[in-house]
Amino acid sequence: MPKPKKEKSEKELEKCTKKLKELKKELSKKEDEIEEYISHLQRLQADFENYKKQREKQETQIIEYANEKLILKLVDVLEDMERAIANCNSPKDFKDGLNLIYRKFNNILEKEGLQRIPTKGEKFDPFKHEAIQVENHEKYKNGEIIEEISRGYMLKDKIIKPSLVKVCKKD
Quick one: what percent of the chain has pLDDT higher than 70? 95
Quick check: pTM over 0.85?
no
Q: Is the pLDDT of residue 159 over 60?
A: yes
Q: Is the pLDDT of residue 1 over 80?
A: no
Q: What is the pLDDT of residues 45-97, one digit of tens each?
A: 999 999 999 999 999 888 877 788 888 888 888 888 888 888 878 888 888 88
Range in 22-31, 61-70, 108-117, 162-171 the model is least confident about:
61-70
Confidence of residue 5 (pLDDT cuts 50, 70, 90): low
Q: Is the pLDDT of residue 126 over 80?
A: yes
Mean pLDDT across 137-157: 92
Mean pLDDT, the chain, rounded, equals 89
Mean pLDDT across 111-129: 92
CB atoms within 10 A of CB 140: 19
Q: What is the pLDDT of residues 11-59, one digit of tens each?
A: 888 889 999 999 999 999 999 999 999 999 999 999 999 999 999 999 9
